[in-house]
């Protein structure tokens, strides 16, 4: 329960909705208890006067009596209707305040969780499954909403109703009150347990449903593989098994649901019978009137839902507390990579320096960079080459401060990047990742992601520099072409070049290209490199690759192996070393290695 305390600040910011909601609940209940009181009065009026009315048989007074009687009954009828309308109106206002409040809190909480996710570092995303992140922001927040809205609404209604009705019942007859109320706690307890069973079963069904969804999603995405390996039947069988499990759980839930309603009806029936039986005896003994008995039967019916909702509210709160605990777990996580107090903002010149840097991935213990030293002067172009897994991408991650090294310093312009504001640092560096990611949006907006204020002309220029403009103009809708599931399917090379255009439009001082030309053919690659040459003139560029771009005149080429520099120098220096680089170059010359470009 203590986990729910995190929500108090949201109640505070919605205090007027909460206060008004509770007030409307109380008013609605006060109006609703007039009905049994009036029914009692009608019954008493009838039972006290019916004998005298019968005695007036065949006298002229009978007509007068009947007219008066009808008027009184009509008055009661209209009053009951009026009070019911008033009670209904305030019930409407109650929902309009408390349920609306819960939607506002749900909105705020969802945004808070989303914004917090954005602040957390890459390590967090590596350690938690995407499905888990999604379910906390959707399902868990929805369960918490059940507490801040419906649970509060039902609980307040229950509390007010029980207090008022029990008070009115005790006024009439304490003994009858005791008998009448005795089955109700049992009802609340039953509802609580049945609700838990229903919830457990629903959870299982929900998990099975998401399993079915992911099975179908995966088979649609992998349809080419399934068809080419003639695995359609196996895939259908896999789906059928998952559906079967879902069907069986749903049938089991339907059984519990089917038992639920009759059990409820039985309990209500028992309470009413008990009231009439014990109440009847009390009427015969002259302790209460027939009107009181009628009033009690209505009270019992009015109390059913409140007692029913005690069980419901208890399980709602329990679920909300568990969900809030999961949400708090993430909200309380502090990002490791964050601004230091008084972090600086500087205009970068483009110098990069790594001093004795060692970095080990925290959750796997793999040391990807070890005792690494590198100095890149502003405006230099540097290539980083190495076998797969040698630490090239890790180096790029360290430069944009996705991770902090355990030892040594990463510096820009002789300034430790840990002392700079993160947005200041990342705002002046463009990073083209190895795995391209494009959003389901237009091509123009995907490029504009690098500079949201850019006009179409700049978008076109960036696309031209990345040698993708011609491809884009070849699409019917040009730069407005939608990418993604419902848009066009781009080739790997086109995606890579759009991703490069996105980095170029940002117009930074430092650019890092992480193996981002792997999917383009040699001719396009030459064209891009030609364009980049002009673009990169006064900028610092780090090009990570496992191909050799002999056309590009690098100031420095670094060969990386197991997180260490094994060779360093210009193209000619490295050739004369006769090491990995020379070997790779020789393979390229003989055409053995397709990945070599000239
Ligand atoms: N996020 C990560 N978490 C844990 N270990 C990682 C992570 N990313 C990379 N590694 C490990 O760090 C080492 C260096 O990987 P890195 O991706 O930097 O190599 P690379 O030279 O870029 O390889 P490639 O050319 O295949 O992209 C590898 O052993 C890899 O398994």
DSSP states along 312-331: HHHHHHHHHHHHHHHHHHHH
pLDDT for residue 485? 63
pLDDT tens profile 459-468: 999 999 998 9
Ligand 1 is surrounded, with C-beta below 6 A, by 126, 361, 364, 366, 368, 386, 388-394, 434, 546
> What's the average model confidence in pLDDT over 401-420?
93
- Using the mean position of ligand 1's atoms as its centre, give its distance from the Cα of residue 389 in Å: 5
- HSE, side-chain direction, 13 A CA sphere, residue 122: 10
DSSP 1: -
- Using the mean position of ligand 1's atoms as its centre, give its distance from the Cα of residue 338 in Å: 23
- Using the mean position of ligand 1's atoms as its centre, give its distance from the Cα of residue 388 in Å: 8
- Using the mean position of ligand 1's atoms as its centre, give its distance from the Cα of residue 402 in Å: 14
pLDDT tens profile 325-338: 989 999 999 888 89
> What's the average model confidence in pLDDT over 581-598?
68
CA angle (523 as vertex; 519, 529 as ends), nearest 5: 80
pLDDT for residue 512? 94
Residue 390 CA: nearest ligand 1 atom is: 21
Q: Is residue 220 pLDDT above 70, yes or no?
A: yes
pLDDT for residue 58? 67
**Which distant-in-sequence residues (6+ apart) come within 8 Å of 414 by Cβ?**
351, 353
Q: Which domains does the chain have, with CATH numbers?
A: 2-173+288-331 (1.20.1560.10), 344-428+509-598 (3.40.50.300), 436-507 (3.40.50.300)
**Which residue's CA is the closest to the ligand 1 atom numbered 12?**
368
Give the DSSP letter string of 372-391.
Answer: EEEEE-TT-EEEEEE-TTSS
pLDDT for residue 591? 64
- How far is the C-alpha of 568 from the C-alpha of 563, rounded, in Å? 14
Confidence of residue 414 (pLDDT cuts 50, 70, 90): confident
The phi and psi torsions of 336 (rounded to 5 degrees) equal -75, -40
**Which residue's CA is the closest to the ligand 1 atom numbered 9?**
394
pLDDT for residue 487? 60
Closest to 267 (Cα-Cα) out of 241, 219, 303:
303
- Using the mean position of ligand 1's atoms as its centre, give its distance from the Cα of residue 120 in Å: 20
Cα 125 to Cα 128, 172, 366, 484: the distances in Å are 5, 64, 17, 23
The token duo for 471 is 């491809």
Percent of residues, the chain, with pLDDT higher than 70:
96
Q: Is residue 550 pLDDT above 90, yes or no?
A: no
Q: How many CB atoms lie within 10 A of CB 126?
A: 11
Least confident of 146-155, 161-170, 551-560: 551-560
- How far is the C-alpha of 352 from the C-alpha of 356, rounded, in Å? 13
Q: Greater confidence, 97 or 536?
A: 97
Element housing 260 (H / E): helix 232-284
> What's the average model confidence in pLDDT over 474-489?
81
Q: Is there a contact between 544 and 374 (Cβ–Cβ < 8 Å)? A: no
Burial class (CB in 10 A: 0-12, 13-18, 19+), 184: buried
**Which distant-in-sequence residues (6+ apart) come within 8 Å of 314 by Cβ?**
192
**Which residue's CA is the closest to the ligand 1 atom numbered 5?**
361
Closest to 438 (Cα-Cα) out of 429, 430, 447:
447
Closest to 541 (Cα-Cα) out of 353, 375, 380:
380
From 363, 366, 399, give the residue whose CB has the most ligand 1 atoms within 8 Å, as the site to mutate: 366
In 120-222, alpha helices (H): 122-127, 130-135, 141-146, 152-172, 174-181, 183-221
> What's the average model confidence in pLDDT over 192-208?
83
Closest to 217 (Cα-Cα) out of 485, 493, 516, 510:
485
CA angle (119 as vertex; 125, 324 as ends), nearest 5: 75
- Using the mean position of ligand 1's atoms as its centre, give its distance from the Cα of residue 136 in Å: 29
The token duo for 409 is 């310093």
Q: How many CB atoms lie within 10 A of CB 83?
A: 18
Q: Is residue 134 pLDDT above 50, yes or no?
A: yes
From 364, 436, 545, 565, give the residue whose CB has the most ligand 1 atoms within 8 Å, as the site to mutate: 364
**Which distant-in-sequence residues (6+ apart) come within 8 Å of 81 by Cβ?**
none
Burial class (CB in 10 A: 0-12, 13-18, 19+), 117: middle
Q: Is residue 156 pLDDT above 80, yes or no?
A: yes
Residue 369 CA: nearest ligand 1 atom is: 14
In angstroms, how far apart are the furthest CA atoms of the chain?
A: 135
pLDDT for residue 272? 87
pTM, rounded to two decimals: 0.78
pLDDT tens profile 64-78: 777 777 888 899 999
CA angle (421 as vertex; 444, 333 as ends), nearest 5: 90
Closest to 550 (Cα-Cα) out of 509, 593, 519:
593
- Using the mean position of ligand 1's atoms as its centre, give its distance from the Cα of residue 425 in Å: 23
From 336, 394, 400, give the residue whose CB has the most ligand 1 atoms within 8 Å, as the site to mutate: 394
Residue 122 CA: nearest ligand 1 atom is: 1
Q: Is residue 16 pLDDT above 50, yes or no?
A: yes
Cα 334 to Cα 251, 329, 424, 460: the distances in Å are 44, 10, 20, 40
Least confident of 341-355, 438-452, 506-520: 506-520
- Using the mean position of ligand 1's atoms as its centre, give its distance from the Cα of residue 359 in Å: 11
The token duo for 259 is 């038992």
- Using the mean position of ligand 1's atoms as its centre, give its distance from the Cα of residue 353 in Å: 21
The token duo for 86 is 């008033």
- Using the mean position of ligand 1's atoms as its centre, give its distance from the Cα of residue 539 in Å: 27
From 365, 393, 563, give the residue whose CB has the most ligand 1 atoms within 8 Å, as the site to mutate: 393
- Using the mean position of ligand 1's atoms as its centre, give its distance from the Cα of residue 100 in Å: 48
Mean model confidence pLDDT for the chain = 87
pLDDT for residue 594? 47
> What's the average model confidence in pLDDT over 300-328?
86
Q: Which residues pair with 569 in a beta bridge?
A: 557
Closest to 406 (Cα-Cα) out of 375, 365, 376:
365
**Which distant-in-sequence residues (6+ apart) come within 8 Å of 116 by Cβ?**
330, 331, 333
pLDDT for residue 198? 83
**Which residue's CA is the closest to the ligand 1 atom numbered 7?**
361
- Using the mean position of ligand 1's atoms as its centre, give its distance from the Cα of residue 122 in Å: 14
pLDDT for residue 595? 47
Identify the residue whose tokens are 């050739």: 575
Sheet containing strand 367-376, strands side by side: 367-376, 352-360, 407-412, 415-416
From 364, 367, 368, 560, give the residue whose CB has the most ligand 1 atoms within 8 Å, as the site to mutate: 368
> What's the average model confidence in pLDDT over 40-46?
87
> What's the average model confidence in pLDDT over 343-358?
91
- How far is the C-alpha of 145 from the C-alpha of 138, rounded, in Å? 11
> What's the average model confidence in pLDDT over 210-227?
85
Residue 364 CA: nearest ligand 1 atom is: 4
Closest to 189 (Cα-Cα) out of 256, 264, 254, 258:
264
Q: Is residue 598 pLDDT above 50, yes or no?
A: no
């Amino acid at each position: 329960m203590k986990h729910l305390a995190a929500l108090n600040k949201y109640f505070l910011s919605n205090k007027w909705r909460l206060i008004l909601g509770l007030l409307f609940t109380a008013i609605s209940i006060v109006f609703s208890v007039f009905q049994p009181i009036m029914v009692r009065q009608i019954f008493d009026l009838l039972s006290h006067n019916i004998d005298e009315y019968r005695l007036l048989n065949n006298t002229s007074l009978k007509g007068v009596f009947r007219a008066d009687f009808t008027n009184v009954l009509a008055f009661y009828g209209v009053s009951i209707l009026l009070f019911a309308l008033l009670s209904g109106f305030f019930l409407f206002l109650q929902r309009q305040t408390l349920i609306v409040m819960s939607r506002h809190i749900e909105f705020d909480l969802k945004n808070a969780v989303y914004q917090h996710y954005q602040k957390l570092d890459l390590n967090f995303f590596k350690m938690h499954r995407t499905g888990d992140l999604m379910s906390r922001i959707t399902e868990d927040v929805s369960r918490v909403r059940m507490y801040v809205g419906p649970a509060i609404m039902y609980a307040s209604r229950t509390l007010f109703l029980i207090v008022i009705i029990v008070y009115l019942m005790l006024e009439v007859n304490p003994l009858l009150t005791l008998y009448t109320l005795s089955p109700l706690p049992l009802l609340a307890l039953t509802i609580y347990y049945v609700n838990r069973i229903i919830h457990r079963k629903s959870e299982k069904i929900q998990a099975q449903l998401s399993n079915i969804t992911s099975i179908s999603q995966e088979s649609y995405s992998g349809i080419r593989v399934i068809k080419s390996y003639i695995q359609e039947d196996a895939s259908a069988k896999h789906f059928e098994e998952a559906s079967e499990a879902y069907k069986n759980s749903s049938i089991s839930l339907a059984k519990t649901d089917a038992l639920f309603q009759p059990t409820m009806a039985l309990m209500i029936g028992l309470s009413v019978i008990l009231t009439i039986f014990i109440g009847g005896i009390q009427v015969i003994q002259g302790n209460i009137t027939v009107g009181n008995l009628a009033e009690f039967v209505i009270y019992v019916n009015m109390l059913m839902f409140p007692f029913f909702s005690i069980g419901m509210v208890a399980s709602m709160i329990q679920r909300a507390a568990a969900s809030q605990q999961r949400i708090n777990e993430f909200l309380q996580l502090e990002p490791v990579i964050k601004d230091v107090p008084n972090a600086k903002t500087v205009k970068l010149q483009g110098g990069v320096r790594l001093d004795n840097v060692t970095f080990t991935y925290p959750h796997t213990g793999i040391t990807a960079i070890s005792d690494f030293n590198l100095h890149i002067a502003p405006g230099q172009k540097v290539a980083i080459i190495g076998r797969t897994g040698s630490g090239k991408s890790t180096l790029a991650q360290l430069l944009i401060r996705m991770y902090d090294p355990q030892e040594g310093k990463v510096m820009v312009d002789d300034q430790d990047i840990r002392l700079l504001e993160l947005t200041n640092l990342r705002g002046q560096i463009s990073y083209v990742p190895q795995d391209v990611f494009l959003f389901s949006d237009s091509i123009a907006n995907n490029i504009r992601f690098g500079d949201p204020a850019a006009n179409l002309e700049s978008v076109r220029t960036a696309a031209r520099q990345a040698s993708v403009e011609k491809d884009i103009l070849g699409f019917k809708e040009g730069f407005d072409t939608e990418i993604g599931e419902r848009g066009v399917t781009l080739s790997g090379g086109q995606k890579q070049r759009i991703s490069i255009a996105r980095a170029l439009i940002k117009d930074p001082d430092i650019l890092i290209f992480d193996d981002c030309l792997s999917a383009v053919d040699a001719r396009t690659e030459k064209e891009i490199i030609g364009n980049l040459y002009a673009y990169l003139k006064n900028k610092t560029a780090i090009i990570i690759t496992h191909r050799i771009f002999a056309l590009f005149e690098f100031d420095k080429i670094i060969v990386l192996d197991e997180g260490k520099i094994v060779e360093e120098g210009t193209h000619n220096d490295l050739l004369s070393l006769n090491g990995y680089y020379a070997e790779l170059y020789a393979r390229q010359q003989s055409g053995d290695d397709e990945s070599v470009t000239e």
